[in-house]
Amino acid sequence: MEPYKSQIGQPVSRLEGHLKVTGTARYAGDYSVPGLLYGYVINSTITKGKIISFDTSRAKALPGVLEVFTHENRPSLAWFDLQYADMDAPPGSPFRPLQDADILYNGQPIGLVVAETFELARYAATLMDIEYEEEAFDTDLRSQQHLARSPKIGMATMLKPLPPKPKGNFEKAFNASPNQVSAEFFHGTEHHNPLELFATTTVYEGKGKLTIYDKTQGTINSQMYVANIFGLKFKNVRVISPYVGGAFGSALRPQYQLFLSVMAALKLERSVLVTLDRHQMFTFGHRPPTVQRTRFSADNNGIITALNHLAIGETSRFEDYTEVVVNWSHMLYPAANTLMQYKLVELDVYSPLDMRAPGGVTGMHAIESTIDELAHKSKIDPLQLRLTNYTEIDVSLNRPYSSKELRECYLQGAEKFGWDKRNPEPRSMRRGNKLVGYGMATGIWEANQLPAKAEAILTGDGKLKINSAVTDIGTGTLTVMTQIAADELGLPVEDVEFAYGDSKKPFAPIQGGSFTVSTVGSAVKAVGAAMRKKLFSIAKKMKGGVFDGADLKDVSFEGGRVFITNDRSRSVSFQEIIAANDNKPVKLSKFSVPSILKLKKYSRAAHSAVFVEVEVDEELGVINVTRAVTAVAAGKIINPKTARSQILGGMIWGISKALREETIQDDGLGKYMNQNLSEYHIPVHADIHELDVIFVDEKDTVVNELGTKGVGEIGIVGMPPAITNAIFNATGKRINQLPIHFDMLL
């Protein structure tokens, strides 16, 4: 028999690949249900005020229109804020669709048309006669900065710690330092814009029972939300979501199409599909606009002496959405004097929402641009400045890292990129009529683990099934979990089925924050280990006494057999074990919880070093990222193929953030002006050139049982500053507002 080849570390192709390339993977809006009705949402056209009258009669008169739901005729619903809170709810009072006549933001859902066809519902939605009483509003962060205040504290603060306490005397140290840099940054609003439109198909099963196909990053999160608001029993609400057409944080909270679809289905006792259109995809959470100010200083040897980072972020009037923006610089750079500040301004907008590397990608752009300027002013190579200030411990909390191979990232990335060929003098490198610039930056993202449960079933054919409620938003969860489970029992991937995306399955938290592999993967590993133990205990009792005198530590599991590690002739097959178990499948589940006591002694983070080359057309200012290398240290990489894709995706998001995407706001109207994919720019194929990914070896025995740190966000964080630093090297211009348009360089 061939020795078992560990599946962890193998570049296994996505197991659902076949379904995705043949169009058979079904997303939330792809379920054909008999008698399905179509809902179309009506949105507010004012920013703040009240609905005075809402006449739906012209729509209701159309044959085929079943109902128009508004705040006036909606069913009565749950009363308490807590019943509307979801797993990602910030402190405050969650938005309640169709609650009353109040308008809190532009584009707020105020009604739902339900009709026999999509076309009819869409048409009927244009026939509303609505009168509003408008009130004055503010949506402009920059003009309202004087109102900035400290954020409220709540459950969310646990995963999003407030800034660390000040150290030393910042002002004194900064003023005494020979090399000082001050900078101000502005980032505008961004919308996640996954390519799949938000959709919910609520299948009305009768007797208060619902099967819901929802676009979500957490099946149990949506289940909880629906059951709490509509007063249904948990077991009567089943949320299914195996295929999610991108999310990037947008589906961490249940969105209003879920609420409206369920409300209509319960009231009409029919199945209802509500799909948002692309315009409506800009009417719920977004990455908040943020103002940042940095002041960093160094001595003449390039030792950083003082760090001050202030961020002012936008939030809504009803919730305090926060991000970790200012905590990162001191995690990377030791300085005796620090001052970190984070504040919020309430505006008349919807609550912001976590979007890929929330806070991190915002803060690191400011931090790493300021570091680059500090290197330039100190006449030190930017990579050297970072190596000079390299720290093995997290100085901000004075505790060691569970692992940190950032130095290797710097070295391997620089080598692969050819950093030594950089001329530090801006505008010194050229290629034809293009200025060429090299820039680099550091990336960091936290490595968290949450509790999760998994169930394992070993059946008579010797195959293993693992159950979890977790989703797979395109990150590769199905494939990676299958690999982890396969390794625990020494099975080939083909003999393992990972069943997921269903709230009926064991608990998994929302999928985000780069913590899914560490969270659900740990539960899968734990249940696999429990299964080994159970199988061995059954085998030990089997007739023939194959394992007499042996302990679990003496046996191995490979190719569907248990055997004495030193004597392969003493073995029993999984099938024989199940037969000995009265032919009953062995079924067990395991809850995995992070070892808080052990973990709190360490800081845990993934790191990256990013190197970018840009070309800038000297006359036209057109910017092209011609090549980029990202070296990542993220602990154990379960699947280098899907992990590489995650990093590539993050890098492209970084290019997008630096050079393309922005939601343009008209503060006179209080609304977003480019709510479509032709004016909300993201990179197209022609914008993307050579991208390279290096995974640096990193062994971590602390972070979790698997040694994984997650790769969903680390790919984006270092990219925008590496690009802007390269643009500085190319042009001598430092633009601190993203995205950088070519006209800013002219």
Contacting residues for 548 by C-beta, under 8 A, at least 6 apart? 540
Beta bridge partners of 571: 563
Residues in contact with other proteins, counted by CB under 8 A, come to a total of: 72
Tell me whether residue 244 or residue 526 sits nearer to other proteins (CB atom): 244
Check residue 122 for interaction with other proteins (CB under 8 A).
yes
Buried b / exposed e along 707-737 (16+ C-beta atoms within 10 A):
bbbbbbbbbbbbbbbbbbbbbbbbbebbbbe
Q: Identify which of residues 42 and 112 has a Cβ nearer to other proteins in the complex.
A: 42
Counting contacts by CB under 8 A, is residue 29 touching other proteins? Answer: yes
Structure tokens at 28: 């939330």
Shorter beta-carbon distance to other proteins: residue 144 or 674: 674
First and final C-alpha spacing in the chain: 68
Which residues make beta-bridge pairs with 204?
210
Q: Is 431 a binder of other proteins (CB under 8 A)?
A: no
Touching other proteins, residues 277-316 (CB under 8 A): 277-280
- Contact flag: residue 20 with other proteins (CB under 8 A): yes
Establish whether 713 is a catalytic residue: yes
CB of 465 to other proteins, least distance (A): 23
Query: Residue 682: left if φ>0, alpha if ψ -120 to 50, beta else—which one?
Result: beta
Q: State in angstroms the smallest separation of the CB of 710 from other proteins.
A: 15
**Applying CB under 8 A, which part among 175-183, 391-399, 488-496, 637-645 lies near other proteins?**
637-645
Single out the residue of 152, 641, 734, 741 in contact with other proteins (rule: CB under 8 A). 641
Strand positions, DSSP E, 500-619: 555-558, 561-564, 567-573, 586-592, 605-617
Per-residue binding letters, 584-623, with other proteins (x by CB under 8 A) = ----------------------------------------
Q: Pick from 650, 670, 710, 720 the residue near other proteins by CB under 8 A.
A: 650
Alpha-carbon separation of residue 194 from 134, 191, 363, 379, 712 (angstroms) = 32, 9, 23, 43, 15
Q: Is 646 in the site for other proteins (CB under 8 A)?
A: yes
Closer residue to other proteins in complex, CB, 434/604: 434
CB closer to other proteins, 275 vs 571: 275
- Output the smallest distance, CB 154 to other proteins, in A: 31
61 part of the interface to other proteins, by CB under 8 A: no
Could you write out the three-class secondary structure of 455-510? Answer: EEEECCCCCEEEECCCCCCCCCHHHHHHHHHHHHHCCCHHHEEEECCECCCCCCCC
Nearer to other proteins, 113 or 148 (CB): 113
Contacting residue, 195, 620, 622, 673, with other proteins by CB under 8 A: 195
Range 475-494, binding other proteins (CB under 8 A): 475-476
| Cα–Cα distance measured from residue 667 to residue 671, given in angstroms and rounded to the nearest whole number | 7
Sheet holding 623-633, edge to edge: 429-431, 434-446, 605-617, 623-633, 690-695
676 makes contact with other proteins (CB under 8 A): yes
530 closest CA partner among 485, 570, 569, 595: 485
> Please, what is the minimum distance in Å from the beta carbon of residue 25 to other proteins?
6
Please pick, from the candidates 4, 118, 318, 390, the single residue that binds other proteins as defined by CB under 8 A. Answer: 118
- The reply to whether 673 sits near other proteins by the rule CB under 8 A is no
Nearer to other proteins, 460 or 683 (CB): 683
Locus of tokens 């259109």? 277
Amino acid identity, position 416? K
Among 54, 259, 653, 672, binds other proteins (CB under 8 A): 653
8 A C-beta contact, residue 123 and residue 63: no
- Contacts (CB under 8 A) with other proteins, residues 32-51: 32, 42-43, 45
Establish if 645 lies at the interface with other proteins (CB under 8 A). yes
Give the separation between CA 250 and CA 164, rounded to whole angstroms.
28
Positive or negative CA dihedral for 218, 222, 228, 231? negative
Residue 463 is a binding residue for other proteins (CB under 8 A): no
Residue 126 in the binding site for other proteins (CB under 8 A): yes
Displacement of CA 742 from its chain's centroid (Å) = 30
Interacting residue with other proteins among 26, 293, 504, 627 (CB under 8 A): 26
Judged by beta carbon, residue 542 or residue 688, the one nearer other proteins is 688
Q: Does 683 bind other proteins (CB under 8 A)?
A: yes
Residue with tokens 């079933």: 457
Binding other proteins by CB under 8 A: which of 9, 10, 25, 427? 25
Work out how close the CB of 504 gets to other proteins at its nearest, in angstroms, rounded to a whole number.
Answer: 23
Nearer to other proteins, 174 or 653 (CB): 653
If residue 65 lies in a helix (H) or strand (E), which one and from where to where? strand 65-69
Amino acid at 192: H
Minimum distance of other proteins from residue 41's CB (angstroms): 9
Residue 246: CB minimum distance to other proteins, A: 4
Binders in 239-278 for other proteins, by CB under 8 A: 243-248, 275, 277-278
CA distance 57 to 427: 66
- DSSP 8-state code for residue 75: P
Binding to other proteins in span 690-709, by CB under 8 A: 691
Give the range of 12-20, 94-102, 170-178, 326-334 binding other proteins by CB under 8 A: 12-20
**What's phi and psi for 298, nearest 5 deg?**
-140, 155
Q: Give the dihedral sign, CA 650/633/439/400.
A: positive
In terms of CB distance, is 40 or 137 closer to other proteins? Answer: 40
Q: Binders of other proteins among 129-168, rule CB under 8 A?
A: none
Residue 23 interacting with other proteins (CB under 8 A): yes
Catalytic residues: 713
